[in-house]
Amino acid sequence: MERLRHELESIRNKGLYRRLRRMESAASTRVIVDGREMLMCASNNYLGLADDHRLIEAAIEAIRKYGTGSSGSRLTTGNTALHEQLEERIARFKGTEAAIVFNTGYMANVAAMTALATAGDVIFSDEWNHASLIDGCRLSKADVVIYRHADLKDLEEKLMRYRSGKRNLIVTDGVFSMDGDIANLPGIVELAERYGAWVMVDDAHATGVLGRRGAGTVEHFDLHGRVHIQMGTLSKAVGAEGGYIAGTHELIEYLRNCARPFIFSTALSPGVIGTALTAIDLIENEPERRARLSLISKRVREELIEMGFRVMSGETPILPILIGEAERAVEFSHHLEEQGVFAPAIRPPSVPQGTSRIRLTLMATHTDEDVRDILGAFARIGQKMGVIR
């Protein structure tokens, strides 16, 4: 315990200590955090669906029919008609033959990579991939080759040098969660086809946000049928909970039989499944939500840059405002809270040293008044701290 105390003290001294914040209201644009109302600017609830009355009603109806818990794993007693309907709905949404649902996006990534990659295989992974992909690489029995972020030249050189005579798998985020940039999926697919590799894309932050129907990066780039494994979550823009893998019938059957996180986990509760089913319908049928999200994201990004902030370029609702050192980013976040804006600092190990930031995320349900309040708070604090002049 003494060793743990010393390590915790070191974490505090570096400005990297983390604590839980208590949410006392539904996930909306205005939330109660630790007893105080604030404007939420850090949520992954991109389309504002998490507290939509239609999703709430769908959850209640599912609970009335199937109860609160699933009672077992999908392969024993936990498989309901709702679970099967959701998997069929996800497959249609993603343009694939089939899909399989997991309890979290993290589990979906770990499940796919540990089931599909074995000794003698090689995984080529973007250096800025999400932690769940990194852990999936580590837990698999494959050799892992890291390529420089979004660097297709480096990826090709490593494909030529390290590719296996067995299976080669390129894994990438579709939208990178800390920088908000979109992977060059067309370039990755071209290299995969040239060098005989599979492609797996983590579309957690793209599902519901990108694409004509909100189906993610494959739809965004019109790559249907050319990406072997599509992963996503139901807990961000979808406003529910869980994760999924979409692909061919053979792929999904294989995961159903070989993916340990699927086999040995209790199934998601019926209320969650009913919520996700309704949400996917709304995502497809209400494109104005994506249009609104794109509009305000573009406005806030442009106005912050005009003020003098270092905002990373992009076209997603993830706006990273670079501050620098961890302590300074934490201070900026505290000042935001004083102004009634909730946007915690993002620090190492989530991002590289010296690039601590405010990861501002917007929702389609933010009003024009909300946007003015956000921009006003950033302007005042930026001048006060000397971040802008």
Catalytic entry in 43, 70, 177, 333: 177
Residue 61: strand, helix, or coil: helix
- Residue 362 backbone dihedrals phi, psi, to 5 degrees: -110, 160
> For residue 122, what are the β-bridge partners?
143, 168
Catalytic status, residue 333: no
Instruction: State the residue for tokens 């294989």.
Output: 254
How far is the C-alpha of 137 from the C-alpha of 113, rounded, in Å?
7
Is 164 tagged catalytic?
no
CB atoms within 10 A of CB 74: 22
Contacts of 119 (CB under 8 A, 6+ apart): 141, 142
Question: Interior CA angle at 88 toward 86 and 89, to 5°?
Answer: 60
Q: Which of 83, 130, 205, 366 is catalytic?
A: 205
Partners of 244 in the β-ladder = 101, 232
Closest CA to 172 of 193, 189, 196: 189
Sign of CA dihedral 169, 170, 175, 178: positive
Given a contact cutoff of 8 angstroms between Cβ atoms, the answer to whether 174 and 201 are in contact is yes
Q: Is 177 assigned a catalytic role?
A: yes
DSSP 204-223: TTTTTTSSTTS--HHHHTT-
- What does residue 171 show for φ and ψ, rounded to 5 degrees? -120, 135
Which of 228, 236, 269, 333 is labelled catalytic? 236
CA 311 – CA 305 distance, rounded (Å)? 6
Which two structure tokens, joined as six digits, stand for 179? 């920088």
Catalytic residues: 177, 205, 236
